[in-house]
Amino acid sequence: METSKVIHAIYTDDDVLMSAVKRVKAERYHIEEIYTPFPVHGLDKAMGLAPTRLAITAFLYGCVGLCVAVAMMNFIMIEDWPQNIGGKPSFSYIENMPAFVPIMFELTVFFAAHLMVITFYLRSRMWPFKKAENPDLRTTDDHFLMEIAVHGNETELENLLKETGAVEIKLIEKEEAH
Amino acid sequence: MYTISNKLKTFSIALIILGLLGVGYGFMTSHKSFEEVETMLAEEAPHGGGHGVATEAHVVAGDSDHSEVSHEANSHDATANAGQHVDEHAKHVEHVQHQMANRPWSALYVAAFFFFMIALGVLAFYAIQFASQSGWSPVLFRVMEGITAYVLPGGLIVLAIAIASGTIGHYNIFVWMDPEVVAHDKLLQGKASYLNIWWFAFRGLIFIAGWSLYRHFSRKFSIANDTASDNSYFKKTFRISAAFLVFFIYTESIMSWDWIMSVDPHWFSTLFGWYVFAGMAVSGITVIAFITLYLKSRGHLEIVNDSHIHDLAKFMFGFSIFWAYLWFSQFMLIWYANIPEEVTYFVTRIQDYNGLFFGMVVLNFVFPFLVLMNSDYKRIPWFVSMAGIIILVGHYVDVYVMIMPATVGDRWSIGIPEISSVMLFAGLFIFIVFSALSKAPLLVKRNPFLKESEHFHY
């Protein structure tokens, strides 16, 4: 089994964390992961993470929902059994469209919302019996943890992290599970 | 300090002069004599000649408001029928003649109301910014104050045109102002205690006075706050803004019944006031964005960053959808129930104004919805401007479709009277707004939220 070494640097303040991230990035170290108890505004930008494309998927899912609604009601109300219900014109879809708009709207929102949430779960690998990947329990409460891979440069990196205000620095031998 | 550039001044004055000429031309050419209208109708008739005129007159007069005779009752009596043809023919020609005379009045009224509603929408938006103590907008307050300078003159002009159409004109916009029509109309008699010209004028003056008072004091406090030593003016503005918003939502609602809904005095709708407000708010915010972008491009508003533009574009997006929601709610409820007394409103609009009626939904909803959805595009000035032009054109058409079917019916067109009315009021609007902008520094000083607004970042 292969092992790799990572350093876990723990911070107790999000402002200190932010400046540490900027410093570490400036020194050209690769930050593997950061664990925080709450969203830190601007952290993704400081880490240089790519912007999310979740909103684009939501738009596409909404389009799917709209198509489903139109196809469904066009088949049921206009093509399959065009009854006269209370004098509503069921000769063509467009003539009776105002009555379908509430459903078109709701299905668009329904598809956009639910499929986007499911996409989010899949992309972030979250499900009910998922084993929590938490290196330090305190990161869910009031500590911030930065994980940096080491390739034989432990001492320099440890010194750098100390300078940035880390309260705890641990060298971890990580077993590659896969 | 901003000073209005000579170019802009000349441009607005040129617009006013050209507009006035066009409006004058519209009034000169709209008063056709009975014979002129008769020959015009004869030329339009499908078969030509006397028979064609009579047939068309017969059909149209049958469903026009002015004919009280039921032709079915007399249809077996040949002589009576012939006599009635002549009678209905005359009535039809008179009806068309009246519609044609209404056109320059309505064109003027639509344009006047359109520019006035922009200013009023901005005034309400301004009050909301104070009442909600928003931290992003103080850098835009002077732009908003500049636009609201048009509330008083604009409101008086709209009211003046409305009243002049019933006193100087021949009841060219509001049919309930005509005592002869009221004398033959049970429904209008029932509404006469509300819809009569003096009570109408009085209400209008009260509304304009209330709005202008708020505008006057909020502007005064805003300028006084620049040199004040404490925040008492800010607190005062907060209080009067909250009070104004209560006053506004009542008066705006009543104003929309008076100034717009009463062109169709047989028709009524409950959510009409909010519908008008939604159009007002979205065009107002669009104009704030326009003027901000213009001033920024000239280097006058350096402190405004693309996050402020982004926020304005979000408001344009959101209020466009809100407008569409109200438009559809009004349309769908009436379409679904299909009660004859309500549905005529949409029947005339769909028959005679089909392209405009549905086209404006595309302009006011579909385009802004698709164009302003992307977060990155909302920061691009030319993109926001293009979307804004679409929205403003759409809302002009919206006002047009609210007024015109009731006054000119199927005799509508967008020609010299309409375009020159828009030019006239656009010129007036630009002149008044930019003059007001040049009267105070473009950035407020020592507003409690100013620092936050300067560093606003989304």
pLDDT, tens digit, 9 for 90 and up, residues B31-74: 888 888 888 888 887 654 444 444 444 444 434 444 444 444 44
pLDDT at A157: 87
List the single residue in A55, A87, A101 with the smallest CB-CB distance to B332. Answer: A101
Residue range B226-237: mean pLDDT, rounded: 93
Residues paired with A8 in a beta bridge: A147, A170
Arithmetic mean of pLDDT, A24-40: 92
Chain B partners within 8 Å of A106 (Cβ): none
Residues of chain B above pLDDT 70, percent: 91
Say what the pLDDT of residue B54 is.
42
CB–CB contact B338 A87 (8 Å):
yes
The residue among B107, B260, B110, B98 whose CA lies nearest residue B181 is B98
Per-residue pLDDT averaged across A29-34, rounded?
90
pLDDT score, position B94: 87
Q: What integer best gives the mean pLDDT of chain B?
A: 89
Q: What is the ipTM of this complex?
A: 0.89
Instruction: Return the pLDDT at B53.
Output: 42
Mean pLDDT taken over chain A = 91
Look at A130 and A1; give whichever has higher pLDDT. Answer: A130
Would you call A98 and B338 a contact, using CB atoms and an 8 Å cutoff?
A: no
- Mean pLDDT, range A26-41, rounded to an integer: 92
Whether residue B169 is predicted with pLDDT greater than 90 in this model: the reply is no
**How many CB atoms sit inside 10 A of residue B352's CB?**
17
The contact set of A with B (CB < 8 A) is 55, 59, 87, 98-99, 101
> Given an 8 Å threshold on Cβ–Cβ distance, is B373 in contact with A59?
yes
In the predicted structure, residue B418 carries a pLDDT above the cut 90: yes
Q: Which of B83, B81, B94 is nearest to B41 (CA)?
A: B94
Residue A2 confidence class, pLDDT cut points 50, 70, 90: low
Tens of pLDDT, residue by residue over A46-84, are 999 999 999 999 999 999 999 999 999 999 999 999 999
Supply the pTM of this predicted model. 0.89
**How much is the pLDDT for A65?**
97
pLDDT at A110 over 70: yes
The contacts of residue B182 (CB under 8 Å, 6+ apart) are B176, B188, B189, B192
Query: Looking at CA atoms only, how far is residue A72 from chain B in angstroms?
Result: 21
* % chain A with pLDDT above 90: 73
Q: How far is B395 from chain A (nearest CA, A)?
A: 22
Calculate mean pLDDT across residues B282-302: 95
Check CB contact of B346 with chain A, cutoff 8 Å.
no
Which residue of chain A is at minimal alpha-carbon distance from B369?
A59
Give the model's pLDDT for residue B80. 53
Can you give the pLDDT at residue B70?
41
- Given CB atoms, is B338 within the 8 Å cutoff of chain A? yes
Three-class SS string for chain B?
CCCCCHHHHHHHHHHHHHHHHHHHHHHHHHCCCHHHHHHHHHHHCCCCHHHHHHHHHHHHHHHCCCCCCCCCCCCCCHHHHHHHHHHHHHHHHHHHHHHHHHHHHHHHHHHHHHHHHHHHHHHHHHHHHHHCCCCCCHHHHHHHHHHHCCHHHHHHHHHHHHHHHHHCCCCCCCHHHCHHHHHCCHHHHHHCCCCCHHHHHHHHHHHHHHHHHHHHHHHHHHHHHHHCCCCHHHHHHHHHHHHHHHHHHHHHHHHHHHHCHHHCCCCCCCCHHHHHHHHHHHHHHHHHHHHHHHHHHCCCCCCCCHHHHHHHHHHHHHHHHHHHHHHHHHHHHHHHHCCHHHHHHHHHHHHHCHHHHHHHHHHHHHHHHHHCCCCCHHHCHHHHHHHHHHHHHHHHHHHHHHHHHHHCCCCCCCCHHHHHHHHHHHHHHHHHHHHHHCCCCCCCCCCCCHHHHHCCCC
The CA distance from A101 to the nearest CA of chain B, in Å, is 9
Contact A9, A165 (CB under 8 A): no
- Is it true that domain A2-37+142-176 has CATH number 1.20.120.1200? no
pLDDT tops 90 at residue A153:
no
- Report the pLDDT averaged over residues A153-173: 88
User: A84 in helix, strand or coil?
Assistant: coil
pLDDT of residue B47: 53
Distance in Å, alpha carbon of A146 to nearest chain B alpha carbon: 26
Identify all chain B residues contacting A59, using CB atoms and an 8 Å cutoff: 373
Please state, for a pLDDT cut of 90, what percent of chain B lies above it. 78
- B376 at A interface, C-beta within 8 A: no
What pLDDT, on a 0 to 100 scale, did the predictor assign at position A100?
96
Q: pLDDT tens digits, residue range B93-102?
A: 888 888 888 9
